[in-house]
Amino acid sequence: MNGMAMKTYLDWMRSCYYVSATGHPALSVPGGFTPDGLPIRLQIVGKHRADFEVLQVGYAFKQATGYGKHRSELAKAPAISS
């Protein structure tokens, strides 16, 4: 991530579990693609017990951007056979 190697799955998930440990509601939504076609996710975090508001923001973001309707060119590519 950002040039730093992640040795384990937990290293990779650090940005998510820090939020989860606080007890604040969080939602991950599609945020587009890198120039290489890799998916980007946006994490929406709300104040304590604001679950419904987080869902509303996620829905509004989805409607405004339409990112959830798009697929990466990588996903459209034919499978590589061995």
Where are the domains positioned within the chain? 25-66
66 versus 78: which is more confidently predicted? 66
Going by pLDDT thresholds of 50, 70 and 90, the confidence category of residue 1 is low
pLDDT of residue 44: 95
pLDDT above 70 for 79: no
Q: What is the mean pLDDT of residues 63-77?
A: 84
Mind listing the pLDDT tens digit for each residue in 9-63? 778 777 777 887 888 999 999 999 999 888 899 999 999 999 999 999 999 999 9
List of residues 6+ apart from 23 with CB closer than 8 A: 48
Mind listing the pLDDT tens digit for each residue in 2-12? 777 878 877 87
